[in-house]
């Protein structure tokens, strides 16, 4: 089952992955990381197709995609 995970320590809540995801299954978390950013999280892993667009666009290399 494909999935994407965001490492909250690296994420700066820039939103580029949210815009890039063709399935629109990434959102800002309600939680914040130690720097105060609402980091991104996938809320519907079942729909992930492992296209890696999120990984491609993430400027903080915070994302891991598995298949």
Partner 1 sequence: MLHGEEIMEIIATRPETLTQTPFTYCPGCLHGVAHRLIAESVQELGLINKMTGVAPVGCSVFAYKFFNFDMAQAAHGRAPAVATGIKRARPDMHVFTYQGDGDLAAIGTAEIIHAANRGEHLSVFFVNNAIYGMTGGQMAPTSLPGMKTTTSPYGRNVDDIGYPIRVSELLATLIAPYYIERVSLLSPADIIKAKKAVLKALTYNKEGRGFTFVELISTCPTNWGIDPLKSREWAKENMIPFFKPGCFRDKGEGVE
Where on the chain is the footprint of partner 1 (CB under 8 A)?
1, 3, 7, 9-10, 12-16, 19-20, 37, 50, 52-53, 55-67
Nearer Cβ to partner 1, position 20 or 23? 20
Sign of the C-alpha dihedral computed for residues 11, 12, 13 and 17 taken in this order: negative
Judged by DSSP in three states, 47 sits in helix
Rounded to a whole number of angstroms, the minimum distance from the CB of residue 21 to partner 1 is 10
Q: Distance between CA 47 and CA 52 in Å, rounded?
A: 13
Q: By C-beta, is 27 or 52 nearer to partner 1?
A: 52
């Amino acid at each position: 089952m494909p999935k994407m995970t965001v490492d909250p320590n690296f994420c700066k809540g820039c939103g580029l992955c949210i815009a890039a995801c063709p399935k629109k299954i990434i959102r800002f978390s309600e939680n914040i990381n130690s720097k105060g950013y609402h980091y991104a999280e996938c809320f519907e892993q079942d729909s992930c197709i492992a296209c890696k667009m999120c990984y491609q666009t993430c400027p903080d290399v915070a994302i891991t995609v598995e298949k």
